[in-house]
Amino acid sequence: NAGVTQTPKFQVLKTGQSMTLQCAQDMNHNSMYWYRQDPGMGLRLIYYSASEGTTDKGEVPNGYNVSRLNKREFSLRLESAAPSQTSVYFCASSQNILLSGANVLTFGAGSRLTVL
Amino acid sequence: GIQVEQSPPDLILQEGANSTLRCNFSDSVNNLQWFHQNPWGQLINLFYIPSGTKQNGRLSATTVATERYSLLYISSSQTTDSGVYFCAVEGAGGSYIPTFGRGTSLIVHP
């Protein structure tokens, strides 16, 4: 029972390079999320997908794009990486963000990204 | 948007001690979750608690939604309790997106 799987776990980029973080869940959840965690800042929402076929901006979307490929997969893309995007990125899923009481979050293990 | 404040920001305990972590929020909420992030970075859901009290072993949580706060109690702390504790709230304004506080960092010494 894998839950939420993120790849890669670690990545080092140079400024201006692009990359995609992959996320997949096997719990048949409708809603998926990308958060970033910076020291002392808690977790801040980048983008979320309430259901397959929809995506919406969160608190800190600038510099990122997302794709909800299917119900299982939700990817995060950095088109031109900047040092300010150095962070730990977490993917999460929940049963259904549109229903109160159906939003227990399950997190992946995280992806540590360094932009030089 | 809704503001979430956690206190204290840092806490150091001796093994066996008890502690209380607090989460205050600025507006009405539909739900509240507590998470533990272990030293390896993994985030684990501890409680999903919109109101009332829940207990799970040495941990318990109480949410008083009308007064806009929640408390997480850790009794007889162990070194494995070390890590960062986050609360996340879902505002009652029609959006059920969880918003996180900045966390309480707990170190339990043997």
Within 8 A of B86 by CB-CB distance, chain A residues are 42-43
Contacts of B67 (CB under 8 A, 6+ apart): none
E-state strands within A28-110: 31-37, 43-49, 56-57, 64-68, 74-78, 87-94, 106-107
Q: What are the CA-CA distances from residue B59 to residues B36, B62, B89, B98 (Å)?
A: 11, 10, 19, 22
Is B42 in CB contact (< 8 Å) with chain A?
yes
B38-77 residue pLDDT tens:
999 999 999 999 899 999 999 999 999 999 999 999 999 9
Higher-scoring residue by pLDDT: A99, A75 = A75
Tokens of A102: 């159906």
Contact A88 B48 (CB under 8 A): no
pLDDT for res B32: 93
Q: Does residue A1 have a pLDDT over 70?
A: no
Q: In terms of Cα–Cα distance, which of A79, A75, A61, A80 is closest to A25?
A: A75
Which of B 47-66 lie inside 8 A of A, CB atoms? 48, 50
Tell me the pLDDT tens digit for each residue of A39-82. 888 899 999 999 999 999 999 999 999 999 899 999 999 999 99
CB atoms within 10 A of CB B18: 11
* Residue B95 banded pLDDT, cuts 50, 70, 90: low
pLDDT per residue over A5-19, tens digit each? 999 999 999 999 999
Q: Is A97 left (phi over 0), alpha (psi -120 to 50) or beta?
A: alpha
